[in-house]
Amino acid sequence: MKRLFLLLAFCPSLFAAQPNVLVIIADDLGYADIGVHGGAEVPTPNIDALAASGVRCTSGYVSAPYCSPSRAGFLTGKAATRFGHEFNPHVGDEAKLGLPLDQRTIANVMHDAGYATALVGKWHQGFDAAHHPQSRGFDEYFGFLVGGHNFLLHKDAEPKFGTAHSHDLIYRGREPQKLDGYTTDLFTDEALSFMNRHSGKPWFLYLAYNAVHTPLEIVEKHQSRLPAVVKTPGRRGYLSLLLGLDDTIGRITAELKAKHPNTLVFFFSDNGGSGKRPFFATNTGINTPLRGDKGQTLEGGIRVPFFVSWTGQLPAGKVYDQPLSALDVLPTAASVAGTKAPEGIEGVNLLPHLKSEKADAPHESLAWRFGPQKAIRRGKWKLVDFRDFEAKTQSGWQLFDLHADVGETKNLAAEHPQLVAELSKAWDDWNAKNVAPLWPGTPNEDPKPAVKKAD
């Protein structure tokens, strides 16, 4: 570390080529709600332009179908089930709730590589001092600590804390702030400030918007842009939040183009849209043609909008169809920073694949566990045991050919018993390296006992 500081002090030109790294995560974004995926209720020109500026990954996955474990996976480069972070950290001993303290984060890696690091927005990885972002590798923090937060802030309101949802409780560092405004705009202002305050050295920014998660608040400035044909209040609120998200992506990308062109940008959602009532903070998000929603190991819960852009380094307008994962962000960022990723990670450096320097898939297979739910994808095949929350049943293993049936409508398990046996064993082998959850989930997350659907 001392050598790195000496090099920075006396030979700053050695580090001039280190790109900035920006990771933008939307919250519960419906796969079908953005224009590039066919969404048409409100325009999303800035999100679409970001997708077109680089590589649009049509099989981009997160490692869990739910907020906190998904983010824990991205932050560590490992499935959160490897270290017991299977459910949202809402119930249990505060000192143990959150990303386990023995796990190194992408912020630790980038900080040690000489980067200025910041998190702006949603954390949801624990809320005591030891789990705070500034205890986990982030130099700066501006946002909220738990799973949900109101969008329309009032500085005279009484702050309210809950392990799942806070109200008017935004922190700068470790200190609560009294603020008026709209969180999407405030987070964007802070992100732009961070970029420009650290323009003399490489920076890593994790920009975690709470849009389009509940509460579905309508911002007054968006009222005239909402389609009159949409009457449902919740859907109108969702579309208002989506408009705000798209506007702010435009502000971010304009700033990058003008002042920070050497920036590797990732954009994805933490999980699928939450379109089903009354489960998992329903936000009316639409995931078609994918089946399922947030909280399910069906494609609608784990396959998300996923774009990677880097001006002059990655091809613009490319569509990449091989399965990849948010677990890959950490090793990719470490690679461009010129440092090593931690031992034991499951992600891979994506750049050789996205640049067509490697023709093979980044992963032989990807696997998931979320309570009683299971899934594994290998090539075009997906084996999944998902939960019907309304019926309170498990599907049992079902097999789908995602190339022919991305909507997972035709179960081919009976036609390919050997493949089911192979993939289920592969899932068992993967699962053998997982550990028990460190804290309990809600009845939706971790129902006991799980009822298997009758044949």
Query: Cβ neighbours of residue 98 under 8 Å, at least 6 residues apart?
Result: 85, 89, 125, 126, 127, 128, 131
pLDDT tens digits for range 121-175: 999 999 999 999 999 999 999 999 999 999 999 999 999 999 999 999 999 999 9
pLDDT band at 277 (very low <50, low <70, confident <90, very high): confident
12 pLDDT above the threshold of 70: no
229 pLDDT above the threshold of 50: yes
279 pLDDT above the threshold of 50: yes
Q: Are 215 and 148 in contact (CB under 8 A)?
A: yes
Helix 329-337 and helix 67-76: axis angle, to 10°? 30
CA torsion through residues 97, 101, 106, 107, sign: positive
pLDDT in the model for residue 449: 53
Q: Are 446 and 371 in contact (CB under 8 A)?
A: yes
User: Which residues share a beta bridge with 121?
Assistant: 143, 208
pLDDT in the model for residue 453: 54
pLDDT (average), residues 248-273: 98
pLDDT tens digits for range 302-319: 999 999 999 999 999 999
pLDDT tens digits for range 332-353: 999 999 999 999 999 999 999 9
- Range with the lowest mean pLDDT among 5-9, 44-48, 431-435? 5-9
327 pLDDT above the threshold of 90: yes
Q: Are 245 and 37 in contact (CB under 8 A)?
A: no
Query: Cβ neighbours of residue 213 under 8 Å, at least 6 residues apart?
Result: 27, 28, 67, 148, 281, 283
Q: Which of 377, 378, 360 is nearest to 368 (CA)?
A: 377
Residues carrying an active site annotation: 67, 124
| Rounded percentage of the chain residues whose pLDDT exceeds 70 | 95
Q: Are 41 and 33 in contact (CB under 8 A)?
A: yes
pLDDT tens digits for range 192-223: 999 999 999 999 999 999 999 999 999 999 99
| Rounded percentage of the chain residues whose pLDDT exceeds 90 | 91
Helix 233-259 and helix 45-52: axis angle, to 10°? 50
